[in-house]
Amino acid sequence: MNIEKYLRVTGMIKKGEYPDIEIPVFKEGEGIKSPPQSIFYIGKSHMILGDTDFRERGRLLGASFLYVPVIVTLCSIFAYFMFSAQEYFYAVFSFFFAIFVFHPFILGAWFEVKKDSVYPVVFNRETSKVYFFSNKDYQPKEMPWQDCLYAVAYKGRSIMACQYELRGFLMDGHRVEDSFSFGDTVLEMKEAPKNEVFYLFYYIQAFMEYDDQFEQPPKLMSWRPSLSESARHTIPRLITDNSTINFLSTVFYRSMCVFFSWQILGHYLICRYGKIPQWSQEIIDECGEDIVLK
């Protein structure tokens, strides 16, 4: 059984495999907005970003921590207080029925543990190439920067809004041959302009093409986060110049950390102890040892 396809059918994981929205041409003088938050490394020649699923990595593992023990415990308590064989049979039946209902979480946790924790993407302005891991076979590939089609892809829905991501597409005519995601998942209403997603791409484009308009990000993301960093990855905080808003943001952030502790723990375990894919030696020789996440 292909677990990934099965989890997609059950709605446990989502992917934007087709270009949905074309990115408008950048107008010089417009200014570059804030950089993507998932930049792991930035140097003179290249920039390393995570894939758009990085912040959500560990969600299925955390959900299994939350749901499976609760269901097993409830069924065990129910079975303990049963006396007759018939009632015990019903308890065992309810136990297996609960496992059947929540088996996507168990498969999802296994899927995340078996997969790599992050799929980095390298943008190299010296070679004018982008280096990534294939969406099909997860093997390292390289392409000239200008030969990829960059577009906004619809990723799925959350409770509040639609999810969009930036993807690079390798096209064969009108057919998608391969693709890779990079940057951050952005929540937008379906009818809203996707300016925030466009700005993420413009920042990378500025790094590759417009040196005079490019500014270094104030802070880089950790790809092997501590527990507190995992909390910030999972629940980004709003920081402004207004002290009242910052106080309310802190209160909301602390409350959400308790509510989403299961997801924070899953993210921490997957990212801290999970595997990472390995670049080929040819790519390392071309870009340097800095692209190897250690």
Poorest-pLDDT segment among 97-101, 213-217, 274-278: 213-217
pLDDT beyond 90 at 263:
no
pLDDT at residue 83 above 60? Answer: no
Residue-wise pLDDT tens digits, 170-203: 988 888 999 999 988 887 777 777 888 888 898 8
3-state SS string over the chain?
A: CCHHHHHHHCCCCCCCCCCCEECCCCCCCCCCCCCCCCEEEECCCEEEECCCCCCCCCHHHHHHHHHHHHHHHHHHHHHHCCCCHHHHHHHHHHHHHHHHHCHHHHHHHHHHHHCECCCCEEEECCCCEEEEECCCCCCEEEEEHHHCEEEEEEEEECCCCEEEEEEEEEEECCEEEEEEEEEEEEEECCCCCCHHHHHHHHHHHHHHHCHHHCCCCCCCCCCCCCHHHHHHHHCCCCCCCCHHHHHHHHHHHHHHHHHCHHHHHHHHHHHHHCECCCCCHHHHHHHCHHHCCC
Q: Is the pTM of this model over 0.85?
A: no
Whether 213 shows a pLDDT value over 80: the answer reads no
